[in-house]
Amino acid sequence: MPLFRRGDGEAAKAAAAEQQASIEQLLRGGLPAKAEARLRDTAGGPFTTDLSVNEFALAVPTGVRPVTQVMGSSVYHVGWQRTPGGWSWQAGSQELTVVSDAWNEARRLAFGRLAREAELAGAHAVVGLQLTTGSHDWVADAVEFLAFGTAVRVDGDEPDVPVLTDLSLQEYWQLRRAGYRPAGLHGSTGVFYVVSSWSQQRAQSGWGSWANQELRDFTQGLYDAREVTIGRVTQQARAARADGLVGVSLSYDIREVEIESGGGRRTDLMVTMHALGTAIVQHEPIREAPPRLSVDLSAGGGNNHLLGGMR
């Protein structure tokens, strides 16, 4: 009896061809073939969402309908980067542009794939976005962005490019009620290497370490990373002609770097700063029906009751 059926070879070839097509689409910044096929078929339901029960209950009367969960990811290799670790005479901070560029490109690819999934699902926006970043031991010199969210349609909206946000569904609706619309999700990363000066090294060891004092090189390094990162996000929002950024979050990671210098050791820092926020533009507020009082006239004994107050 043969170990394999006659059709196994054709099936393997078809699977290999599909995998190769998916790889080619990923190289162009796109999605795997199976993901595209599934997302094109979301119109018939059922929907999937990470919205809480309270969020879903809010969505129903406001005309915001969840379509499906969407994802965007990128694992990105970081190229060679020279560090100023041996330059003990050059204190202060310096951006590691190769590492910063790798983070920013990985984010761009992840957000692009997230937006493509939302577009294939026929969505108007993505809400409740959750973003994770990291690096792993199983792949050296690489960084990762992974973004999840819920794609939604809004009754009455015209088809357009889906807008990414990191807002909850409640925040998204409150923003629109207030006369603003989200105009896209903007983010940036800055990676800085901070060299400890001679004076700071003395403050960290020996007689100098006995006194309270600020480690000014490290403080300045954090400020430098913050200013560059926030500056880039602000520039992105300005280019998009946004009125402002809401929900801006800052996260950072600090790694110690031990350096042999001049017969001794010193501690430098590597600071990675991430910034993320939703750009907004002013728009006509959503018009809602005015409040209406209802009186229950069916109560016996001539007692009228006020029902529910305002609707």
Domain residue spans of the chain: 21-310
Report the distance separating Cα 247 and Cα 165, nearest Å.
10
Q: Determine contact, residues 182/172, Cβ cutoff 8 Å.
A: yes
Q: Which residues contact 31 (CB under 8 A, 6 or more apart)?
A: 25, 39, 113, 116, 117, 120
Can you give the C-alpha Rg of the chain in angstroms? 27
Q: What does the pLDDT read at residue 305?
A: 45
Report the distance separating Cα 71 and Cα 214, nearest Å.
43
Q: What tens-digit pLDDT sequence spans the chain (311 residues)?
A: 455 455 566 766 666 666 666 666 666 666 666 666 666 666 556 777 888 888 888 777 888 888 889 999 999 999 888 777 555 555 678 999 999 999 999 999 999 999 999 998 889 999 989 888 877 666 678 899 999 999 998 888 777 789 999 999 889 988 988 899 999 999 999 999 998 877 777 776 766 667 788 888 888 999 999 999 999 999 999 999 999 999 999 999 999 888 776 667 788 889 999 999 999 999 876 555 455 555 666 655 555 444 444 43
To 5 degrees, how large is the angle CA 89–CA 94–CA 99? 130
Report the distance separating Cα 30 and Cα 211, nearest Å.
56
Q: Which of 46, 45, 19, 44 is nearest to 34 (CA)?
A: 19
Q: What does the pLDDT read at residue 308?
A: 44
Q: Is 6 exposed, middle or buried (0-12, 13-18, 19+ CB in 10 A)?
A: exposed
Q: What does the pLDDT read at residue 311?
A: 37
| Cα 311 to the center of its chain, rounded Å | 37
Q: Determine contact, residues 163/139, Cβ cutoff 8 Å.
A: no
Sole residue written with tokens 């199976």: 34
Q: What does the pLDDT read at residue 266?
A: 80
Q: What does the pLDDT read at residue 310?
A: 40
